[in-house]
Chains A and B, each alone.
Chain A
Amino acid sequence: MRLQRVGTAGPAKRRRYGSSKGEALAFYGFLSPWIIGTAALTLFPVGYALYLSFTAWDGVSVFKPWVGLANYREVLTSSDTLSSLSKTLLLVAIIVPTTIVGSLVLAVLLNERVRGRTFFRTLIYIPAIVPPVASALIWKVVFDQNSGAANRVGAMFGVDAVNWLTGNRAFVVLVVVLLWGVGAGIIINLAALQTVPMEQLEAVKLDGGNALTAFRHVTLPVISPVLLFQTVLVTITTLQTFVPALLLSPISTGGGDVYTNIPNANRVYMVDVYSQFFAYSRYGYGSAMLTVFFLVIVVLTVLIFKLVGRSVFYAVDPTASGKG
């Protein structure tokens, strides 16, 4: 009792207390910018948008009439909204597999010891670092009806010029623009390919396996977590496609607003949301659309993990505790 009170325990306890208080202060001090930032710039706007989704606010009026679930009912039944959602899902269905497979194939090719490998790696990665605005504008010029390269190529084969930026063709151009950024995936895959153990690849060779066998049974399992990460990332970014669709539309049609010039084929979900907010001044409905979209993204992400996650190979069991 005496030892505990006067000797070791007391001062030791005080030291621990003093130390942990300082650590706590440092901890919260370093963390506070992030906490304040998240609260002010994420949690509050999200909460406020959620509140708005139950109103019919027009963005400028003092009143925010409460409409309950009416906006949500409309989101789930509006033919325009469902149409924009289906276009977005079609975009995902095209872009995600093409990007994942395409970037993997190109990464494998660029991983080979060929002459000028660095040059080709740089060349393929350049489009990924071009700002999306510049990229969309470049493609807009390429697909211009009167002076674009696409129609010039067509003319070489006797094909009459077509207007690529209107009607359903505009969707094709949007797909091309989105696929143009495949370079980022190539770099990630290249990095992942460096982690494939050479001895395992050699073991396959010694066992009589060919390159395809090695790729299927060694390379693919090793890089599968990276592929899963990319699948989730590309799915989410494709779902949120907005800027390219906006920039590919003509800037002006006799002074019209930008919303009026976006071809119907490119009225994907985020374009629809944007129109609801800023063309129709329907802040409540737009917020409900965003809430529903958030849930769609969550569901799709969970589905990807459920469907693909089982096939992913982890060298270290991610579910295992970090403690000894």
Chain B
Amino acid sequence: MQHSQAFSRRSVLKSVGLVAGAAALSACSGTGSSSTSAAVKSPKKGTLTIMSAQGEITSAEIAAFEKAYPGLKIKLILTDPTRLNAMLAAGDPPDLVRDAGTDVTPYIASRGIALDLDEYFAKSSVLKTADILPINNCWRWDGKTQGKGARYGIAKDWSQDAMWWYNSDLWSAAGLTAPDPTKPITYDELFEASKKLTKSAHGKTSVYGLYTTTPGMDQIAAMVATAGGRIMSEDLGTADFTSPEAIRALTWLVDVAKAKVGYSAVNPSPDWDGPEYLAGKQATAGQGYWFNGFVASTAPAYQSKTVFAAAPMLGSKRVSPSFGAVGYWIPAKSKNPGAAFEFMEWYCGGAGAAKRIAAGNGLPSMKPMLSLVPQKTEFQKASFKVQTAELPYVSVIPVATPYALTTALNTTLAKDFTAAVGGGKSVAALADLLTKDVNAVLANGKKLAGK
């Protein structure tokens, strides 16, 4: 009862209002011209081709959409960057593409690949701009700044992705005091706990204490942000991994990789955190709020021992970013943008979204849907409480750049990181190498952009 009073729809709305400013991205100038809004095109009957992740849009959802929009048939194709590039190059792209708004917006907008959706949003009775939560500003780009300008997409749902979950049974079995889930622990504390949670013998590990860590732009930038630093320059044209904050983050990543307390770039996971956690092979899972719905639907028995926790901190600044705001964008050359936007409305703000949000599979993009976030079971109530306490610290750390896809930067980071950890390179030398190589990728993109 207390839960429902303390974390009512109103309190969430209040939190969201508080974070409106924080969620707006910090000014980060880049390049590329701001496009003019595309005129709204009427939906045409026929087939709507959607490139999405396997199993995400279910056949039941497809059937529900096709029933609601007679005359439209959905053709799903699996997310495949290679195929997408080929389709874009051939001028025959899908009508909708699933992507992470935090990572791709400057790139797809500055290259003219994505449709400027301002006019569509302005006329929409479902995705009303006044109701769109600020996290969706990551889908905006004005030619210089992510967070401002035209909208190029919208999140289907979102989470604060540096947050984590732990198995309280394993935590107790290791003789550890379970941390207060609403108060962030430090990365060092997490590392120490992970050492005690990890169970290894004769080179084999039956339980990893720590969730999978990757030397990706998102993770490093999020850690650095909690220490008050940043990786990308203001103009998004260069990166610096040699700052004291970045060195601390890299040191932690190298140390946990060497200690083998969790899967890492040098000890890759056979799967993502979810299956490993639910199989009891990981004591923690590095996932955002959406994991709540995954646990409830996949392994209900795990609900009683799974606890959601605040994003850890490297320094003293509390920051809890979203790494994805995963949603959809419409390619500029879509053959049926009107119908594509109708799907966007249905799936991200309409009936399709409502069911997903009610199941606890992420936070909604639209304010009116916040009331649907589930609070029926004890597990849902506890997760909701932690999530509500975390909302004021939401942000999008600038890692996306118009000069390269995040994939390119992450590939460079992984290559250098594994070489450094395996080859015994010092963290300082690794930081120099990362700075040099990532900047080379960015410089190449700048050259292409005529900068």
Which A residues are within 8 Å of any B CB, using their own CB?
56, 58-63, 65, 80, 144-146, 151, 155, 160-163, 165-168, 249-257, 259-261, 263-264, 267, 275, 277-282
Contact = CB atoms under 8 A, between A and B. Distances in A.
Contacts of B444: 56, 280, 282
Interface string B214-228: 101000000000000
Contacts of A62: 112
A253 B203 contact: no
B270 A250 contact: yes
Contacts of B414: 256, 259-261
Interface string B101-124: 000000000011100000000000
Given A62-B112, A161-B203, A254-B214, A56 B447 contact: yes
B202 A281 contact: no
Contact of A60 (B113, B265, B273): B113
Given A252-B272, A253-B269, A278 B447 contact: no
Contact of B422 (A167, A249, A252, A254): A167
B115 to A, nearest CB: 14
A182 to B, nearest CB: 28
Interface of B: 81-82, 85, 88-89, 111-113, 202-206, 211-214, 216, 263-273, 286, 404-405, 407-408, 410-411, 413-415, 418-419, 422, 441, 444-445, 447-448
Nearest to B216: A256
A278 B81 contact: yes
B407 A279 contact: yes
Contacts of B211: 254
Contact of A145 (B203, B407, B418): B203
Contacts of B216: 254, 256, 260
A58 B85 CA distance: 9
Given A146-B204, A161-B204, A259-B407, 20 more contacts: A56-B444, A58-B111, A58-B445, A58-B448, A60-B89, A61-B448, A145-B204, A151-B203, A161-B202, A161-B203, A168-B422, A249-B268, A253-B212, A257-B81, A260-B216, A260-B414, A263-B418, A279-B411, A280-B404, A281-B408
Contact of B269 (A58, A168, A254, A257): A254
10 contacts: A59-B85, A59-B88, A59-B89, A144-B270, A165-B268, A252-B272, A254-B269, A257-B81, A264-B418, A278-B81
Nearest to A160: B203
A61 B445 CA distance: 12
Q: Chain A: interface secondary structure?
A: loop
A111 B445 CA distance: 59
A253 B265 CA distance: 7
Contact of B265 (A80, A162, A260): A260
A134 B112 CA distance: 40
B269 A250 contact: yes
B212 A254 contact: yes
Nearest to A275: B411
Interface of B is mostly: mixed
A261 B204 contact: no
A256 B271 contact: no
A250 B419 CA distance: 17
B268 A261 contact: yes
Contacts of B203: 145, 151, 160-162
A251 B268 CA distance: 9
Given A61-B111, A256-B214, A280-B408, A251 B422 contact: no
B63 to A, nearest CB: 28
Given A62-B112, A166-B266, A281-B85, A257 B411 contact: yes
A65 B379 CA distance: 56
Contact of B272 (A65, A168, A254): A254
A56 B444 CA distance: 9
A267 B418 CA distance: 12
A62 B112 CA distance: 9
B280 to A, nearest CB: 13
Contacts of A261: 265, 268, 414
A257 B205 contact: no
Contacts of B445: 58
A225 to B, nearest CB: 40
A264 B441 contact: no
Nearest to A265: B422
Nearest to B415: A264
Contact of A260 (B205, B405, B410): B410
Question: Which of B267, B268, B405, B422 has its CB near the most chain A CB atoms (within 10 A)?
Answer: B268
A278 B419 contact: no
A249 to B, nearest CB: 7
Nearest to B112: A62
Of B206, B408, B445, which is in contact with the most chain A CB atoms at under 10 Å from its CB?
B408
B161 to A, nearest CB: 10
Contacts of A61: 111-112, 448
Contacts of B441: 280
A220 B58 CA distance: 61
Given A160-B202, A279-B408, A166 B113 contact: no
A252 B407 CA distance: 14
A6 to B, nearest CB: 62
Contacts of A260: 214, 216, 265, 407, 410-411, 413-415
A261 B268 CA distance: 7
A60 B269 contact: no
B268 A250 contact: yes
Nearest to A280: B408
